Amino acid sequence: MNRKFYLRLPALLIAVFAVVGCASQAETAISTEAPKQDTAPVTEAVTEPAIVREQPNLPENLDFGGHTFTIMNNEHSLPMWTQYCVGTDDMNGESLNDAIYSRNKTVEDQYNCTIVSYQTLDLGGELSKLVKAGDSTMDLTTPHLRTFASQAAGGLYIDLHTVESLDLSRPWYDQNSVAEVSIMNRLFGAATDITLMDKQATGALVFNKGIYSDYDLDSTFGDIYSIVRDGKWTFEMMSAMATSVSSDLNGDGIMTDADLYGLLYQRDTLTSFFTAFDINLATKNADDIPEMTLASDRNFTVTEHIFDLIYREDYCMHVMKYFGEQDYTDKMVEMFQGDRALMMWIRLRDVEDLRSMEADFGILPMPKYEESDNSYRSAVNSYVGTMTCIPQTNYDPDMTGYFIEALASESHYTVIPEYYNINLQGKISRDEESREMLDLIFSNRHYDLGEIYDPGNFANTLIYLTMNAKRDIASLWAKQEKSVTRNLEKLLEKFGDL
């Protein structure tokens, strides 16, 4: 393997952007419109405003000298959460797959390198062995947020702030991840446009338009998209909608999966509500050090209101509790597709499973708690959301930084539009308004260090309360506060020693 990179002739900087458009070293206009089918000629064409493409700040004539960049990614026991978005073997006619393949081929051809995606069920274990052995085989990793936390504390990753070739202010990095995932002013991973999993792991709601119409909710509440646009999409309104819809469809006198509910939800819905309502398990102080901040009268009161809704079993179904942890995903999708729920909490990956749904549905952000709140807030689920990280044994972090810039910026203008504008907004979602909703969702994603680092396993314990309809979080915190505080202190000592 060639361990050097050098500068090439300008002619080798020419690349073909096969998915979205053509780009030059200068600014380039990119259209995000889906391809149109052949039709009869029209007299006048209407075009959307072009998007001006930012170029990454890379050295002129950059050449990676034939280096193979190997990226370690997660497989998952549930195939839907296996990361397929870093590398594909070939084009297969599926637009997103082909966009990923073309992105990699463009970067490979333009900068003289090879990109290899390595999948593993034990990313942390394998990486730890490599780092201990001083093995530089892996150039990048894309771990899940919760496993990333222990890996970072264990010294497996380089502080991205020390990599001078990275410009973390650019649009191909989620700026909230850069600000919120740092700890003690060091950043060991960030959400980038290299991966889709952090987008797919983002919490949201879907609603059934047919049921909304059948129950005449337009007359009661108004157009739901206008409610969101006007900043009036609140938990109180969502609760009122959810408790307006319920029916014992088969007439057996009990509510089962054969009946109609206002809301389907999961364990992780609880922390998604927390993020939406600005309840932070941990908040960073002026020194960028997290402090546990769940325990407040306001947070406990808001949490009680969440429980007041989701524990209404005549209107809300906890699908993980009802169907079991192995079967709930398919079963909840089956219920929603079968017109047996007005709303369903999802991570956006779940939307892809609704392709065959006959009834129209739409996508909504999580509600605000109160109308006066500044914005809609969306949680990136820590169990399946990912970071992009550089292993401590990376043999040339600055070269890898340039590679991240090249791949993430290319992805920002090719893969992300394919996923976002075409896949979610065209093939799957059923209306133009969902385009606006996705803008709101993706532009306001947040990361809670109390959930990600989870000292004392408190965040994990918290969501399991919902499996038994328990609600006394104040009592739970009182019992575990000392343990959580002690574990947080140990965690900070680890980072202090890095």
Give CA separation, 97 vs 52, 89, 91, 104, 368, in Å. Answer: 24, 9, 7, 11, 35
Query: Does residue 23 surpass a pLDDT of 90?
Result: no
Query: Does the residue 178 lie in any domain?
Result: yes
Considering the domain architecture, whether residues 127 and 223 belong to the same structural domain is answered as: no
For 318-376, the pLDDT digits (tens) are: 999 999 887 888 999 999 999 999 999 999 999 988 888 888 999 999 999 999 999 99
Per the listing, tokens 């803008």 go with: 439
246 and 161 assigned to the same domain: no
Kindly tell me if the per-residue pLDDT of 180 is higher than 80. Answer: yes
Cα gap 459→90, rounded to integer Å: 41
Looking at the domain assignment, is residue 485 inside a domain? no
Indicate if 187 and 208 belong to the same structural domain.
Answer: no
Return d(Cα 440, Cα 434) in angstroms, integer.
10
pLDDT band at 41 (very low <50, low <70, confident <90, very high): very low
Same domain flag for 262 and 304: yes
| pLDDT at 408 (0 to 100) | 98
Reported as a single tens digit per residue, the pLDDT across 211-233 is: 999 999 999 999 999 999 999 99
What is the per-residue pLDDT across 239-267, written as a single tens digit (0 to 9) for each?
Answer: 999 999 999 999 999 999 999 999 999 99
Give me the domain span that covers residue 17: 6-36+45-199+383-413
| Residue-wise pLDDT tens digits, 436-468 | 899 999 999 999 999 999 999 999 999 999 999
Say if CB 477 and CB 492 are below 8 A apart: no
In a domain, residue 295? The reply is yes
Please give the structure tokens belonging to residue 468: 């038994």
Residue 134 falls inside a structural domain: yes
> In the predicted model, is pLDDT for residue 80 greater than 80?
no
Report the DSSP beta bridge partners of residue 264.
317, 344
pLDDT at site 95: 87
DSSP designation for 366: P
Residues 268 and 250 in one domain: yes
* 100 and 212 assigned to the same domain: no
User: What is residue 124's three-state secondary structure?
Assistant: helix
Please check whether residues 238 and 209 belong to one and the same domain: yes
Residue 30: pLDDT band (50, 70, 90) is very low
In the 8-state DSSP scheme, what is residue 420? I
Confidence of residue 33 (pLDDT cuts 50, 70, 90): very low
Q: Are residues 111 and 10 in the same domain?
A: yes
Please state the pTM of the whole predicted model: 0.87
Mean pLDDT over the full length of the chain? 88
Residue 488 lies in a domain: no
- Do 147 and 215 belong together in one domain? no
d(CA 395, CA 156): 14
| pLDDT more than 70, % of the chain | 89
Indicate the number of domains in the chain: 2
Q: What is the DSSP code (8-state) at residue 207?
A: E
Beta bridge partners of 258: none
Residue 86 contacts residue 39 (beta carbons within 8 Å): no
- 78 and 177 together in one domain: yes
- Assess contact for 350 and 333: CB atoms under 8 A: yes
Element (H or E) spanning 113, and its range?
A: strand 113-120
| d(C-alpha 304, C-alpha 234), whole Å | 16
pLDDT of 170 > 70? The answer is yes
Residues 330, 236: one domain?
yes
In a domain, 390, yes or no: yes
Q: What is the CATH number of the domain that holds 370?
A: 3.40.190.10
Please indicate, yes or no, if residue 188 is contained in any of the structural domains. yes
Lowest pLDDT segment from 11-25, 278-292, 369-383: 11-25
SS3 305: helix
Total number of residues shown for the chain:
498
Given a cut of 70, is residue 20 above it in pLDDT?
A: no
Tokens 């730890």 correspond to what residue?
A: 128
Do 31 and 50 touch, CB atoms closer than 8 A?
yes
In what order do the strands lie in the sheet containing 140-142? 113-120, 67-74, 140-142
Residues 19 and 79 in one domain: yes
Under 8 Å between Cβ of 363 and 440: no
**Does residue 241 sit within a domain?**
yes
- Binned at pLDDT 50, 70 and 90, residue 49 comes out as low
**pLDDT, tens digit, 9 for 90 and up, residues 92-116:** 888 889 999 999 999 999 999 999 9
